[in-house]
Amino acid sequence: MTKVVLVSALAAASAGCAMFGGTPKSTFKPLDVSAYYPLAVGNSWTYSANMLGDKVEKTVSIVKEDFGYFVDDNKGRLKVDAYGLRDDKRYLLRVPLEVGTKWTTIVSVQSKERSQILETDEPCTVPAGAFEHCLTVEHRNRQDETHDLVMRMTFAPHVGIARIQVAMDAGGQLTPQSEMQLVAYRVAPPPPPAGARP
C-alpha cells in the first residue's frame, strides 16, 4: 500500500502549506490556469518524497510535445485546454479557479475521484523556495466504505507543483501517508503580457 501511495504522488507530479492548514481569504485574483504548471519542452522539476520514513528523490523533465500534450520522461502527459489543466485521465485543475470549484472524474471502472479547489492565495515554503499566491486542490478517492485516499496538491504560480501531501481519511481522522516537496526546478520564463514592449 505504501508503494502505491508514493507512486500515485509521483505520477501526479509528473502528470504536484502546513499540513492541511487554511489561510485567511484574500482579494488576490488567480492567474490563468497555464501559469500554475508551466509547460514547455526542457522544463524540469526535482522532488524529494518522504514516505513513512523512506526518502526518494525524483526529477521529471518535459521532453516533447505529442498531439497537444507535453510528455515527460516518465511518460506523463499534460496539457491546458479551455477547461483546465489535465493529464490523460483527469483534470488536475478546473476553471473557474475559485475556492469551492468542484469536479468529479471517473478514473477507472472501479475508481471515482472527487476534486475541489481549497485555496487560491496561500504562501508555501519548500526546499526550492518560498512562494506566494499558491493554489491548493484536493483530490479524494474512495478506498472502501470508511476510507478515502486524500491528495492535496499545491501549485506555485510560474513554477508548477510545489507540494503534494497524501493522507488516509478514516471517518474524518486524517493519517498522513506521504509528502513530496519541490527541491529544484528549471522552467522557461513566462511570456510577456499581451501588448508589452519587447
CA distance 186 to 163: 16
Please calculate the CA angle 38-73-91 and round it to the nearest 5 degrees: 50
- In terms of residue numbers, what domain contains 43? 2-19+30-186
Q: Are 12 and 153 in contact (CB under 8 A)?
A: yes
Is the pLDDT assigned to residue 7 strictly greater than 60?
A: no
| pLDDT band per the 50, 70, 90 thresholds, residue 20 | very low
Instruction: Count how many domains the chain has.
Output: 1
Residue 112, classed as helix, strand or coil, is strand
Is the residue at 70 inside a domain? yes
Q: What is the CATH number of the domain that holds 180?
A: 2.40.360
Is the residue at 175 inside a domain? yes
Is the residue at 163 inside a domain? yes
Is the residue at 149 inside a domain? yes
pTM for this model (two decimals):
0.81
Is the pLDDT assigned to residue 122 strictly greater than 80?
A: yes
**pLDDT for res 55:** 86
Is the residue at 116 inside a domain? yes
Q: Are 147 and 174 in contact (CB under 8 A)?
A: no
Is the residue at 72 inside a domain? yes
Is the residue at 129 inside a domain? yes
Is the residue at 191 inside a domain? no
